[in-house]
């Protein structure tokens, strides 16, 4: 067997050599295949970064929403306590 065929494990180095299939450019191997793999990696890195930024922003919005809901509920509890005290004061 040709050892050279199995020694390269770099992405984009061609079919069966760690690069796997992925289109004619990547299958051809060489610098063009490596560039294709690098661009693919960059695309997914950027996509993941966008998704994490969205998730962070969405989580912040959820936290703000729930804090506002807590404040509204606390205000409502205080109003009801005040009404109860006023009711007790008038019935005595």
Q: 43-86, pLDDT tens digit by residue?
A: 999 999 999 999 999 999 999 999 999 999 999 999 999 999 98
39 within 8 A of 47, measured Cβ to Cβ: no
4 φ, ψ to 5°? -60, -35
Mean pLDDT taken over the chain: 82
**pTM listed for this prediction:** 0.55
Domain positions in the chain are 3-91
The residues near 33 (Cβ < 8 Å, ≥ 6 apart) are 12, 13, 14, 19, 25, 26, 27
């Amino acid at each position: 067997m040709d050892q050279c065929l199995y020694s390269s494990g770099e992405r984009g180095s061609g079919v069966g050599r760690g690069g796997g299939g992925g289109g004619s450019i990547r299958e051809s191997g060489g610098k063009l295949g490596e560039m294709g793999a690098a661009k693919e990696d960059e695309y997914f890195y950027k996509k993941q970064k966008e998704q994490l930024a969205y998730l962070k922003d969405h989580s912040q919005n959820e936290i703000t929403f729930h804090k506002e809901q807590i404040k509204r509920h606390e205000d409502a509890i205080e109003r009801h306590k005040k009404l109860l005290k006023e009711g007790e004061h008038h019935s005595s």
